Amino acid sequence: MLYNVPRWGSRQFGKNVNNILFYTYLQAGLMREEEQTTMTRARIRDLGITIGTYPTGTYNAITDVPGVLVGHETIISDEGRTARTGVTMIVPRDGGIWADHAFAGYFSFNGCGEMTGLPWITEAGLIHTPIGITNTGSVGIVRDALCAYPIEEAARFAVPPSIASTWTGSLPVVAETWDGWLNDIDAFHVTKEHAFQALQNAHGGAVEEGNVGGGTGMICHEFKGGIGTSSRVVKYPHDSYTVGVLVQSNYGNRRHLSIDGVPVGRELDYSLVASPWIEPPKGGSIIIIVATDAPLIAVQCQRLARRATVGLARVGGMGFNGSGDIFLAFATGNHLPFGAQGPIDLRMLPTTSWTPSSRLSLKRLKKPS
C-alpha cells in the first residue's frame, strides 16, 4: 500500500492456481494509460503466449466458476479534483451468497494493506456477502455500502428480508490498493452509489479488464496496472472443477517482471517506455481473489489462498515491507444455508490430492511449460 511518491506530486488447487495467477497478472493492464486509448487490447493468448498446460474455462475468467459474477464502476474525471478510481465487486452464487454462504480462507503475504472481514473468516471460515475491491481511502464507504445494499436494494439479488438486516451482512470483505499517484485519493471520489452501481453491473461471462473499476488508478511493474482475471479447469477421475482468479494489481519494479520465466522487465529499458516514478517504488499492493466450485472446506481454502504467493513470485512480486499482498479464496462446492440449525452434510476433496499438485507447481517453476 505504501509508495515512495515522487517529489513532484500526485498528478497523475495447488497445482493449478499458480499458473492461473501468473497468467492473470499479465492481463491486469501492463501498459501505459495513453496506449490503452490508441491500441487494440489483446489478451496474452491472443499474442501466441500460452502459460501452463491446463485448459481455460470458456471466458478464461473468474466468472467461469459457476455462479460467480463481476461488476465494475469506473470513475474518470478531470473536472475539479482528478479522479481515476472506482469499485469492483465479485458476487458469488449469482447473488445468493447472503442466503447460502461459502467456505473461505485467506493468506497475508505482506500485511501493509487492508481487507475487512478477516477476523470472522479466521473464526468461522465463511463469507456471507459479495467481495468489494477499491482504493485505500474508500474501504470504509464500500464496506458500509455492502452492509446497506441488501436492505436498500434487495430486489437486485432477492435477499430475503429476514436476512437483509442480520449481523452476517455486516461483516463484508472489502480490500484495497493505493491509487494516489493517478487519482486524487484525498478527494474521496467513491460513494455508496458507486458501490451500489458496481453490484448492479455484476454479470457473468466476459470480464472487463485493465483500467476499470477498482483497478482504474493502479500501476504494476511500472506500467499501467489494474484488473486481471483468468481460469483453468482441473480434471479429476471423478469430476472436473474450475479455479478462477481476479486480481487488482498495483505493485512491483520493472526489473523484476518475468513472463513465463523470461525476465522481460530487464529488456524494457526506460528509454523505450518511461517509468511513472522518479525511482522504483519500495512498496505496492496486490489483492488476489481465488474462486472455485470444488468442494473445499475452510482450511483448504486457506491453503489455496496461500499458494497464490507462488504465482505472484513467478511474475516478480517480492512482498516488500510496504506492500499489501492479501489473498482470499472461496469455494462454492458446498451449500451452507443461513440459519441452519441441524447438521449439514459436507463434501471435500481429500487432502492427498494436494501433494502431487504442489510438486507439479514447483516443477513448472523450474521449467515453465
Please give the positions annotated as active site: 285, 323, 325
Place of cell 517529489: 7
The answer to whether the beta carbons of residues 305 and 327 sit under 8 Å apart is yes
CA distances in angstroms from 366 to 100, 105, 164, listed in the order given:
41, 28, 49
Name residue 172's beta-bridge partners.
none
- Contact, 105 vs 305, CB < 8 A? yes
- Is the separation of the CB atoms in 250 and 178 below 8 Å? yes
| Residue 79 contacts residue 54 (beta carbons within 8 Å) | no
The residue whose grid cell reads 487492508 is 114
CA count, 13 A, side-chain hemisphere, 33: 16
Indicate the pairing of strand 283-292 with strand 322-337. parallel
Which residues face 326 on adjacent strands? Answer: 108, 287
Looking at the DSSP assignment, which residues form a beta bridge with residue 226?
A: 249
Tell me the HSE value of 144 on the side-chain side, using a 13 A CA sphere: 9
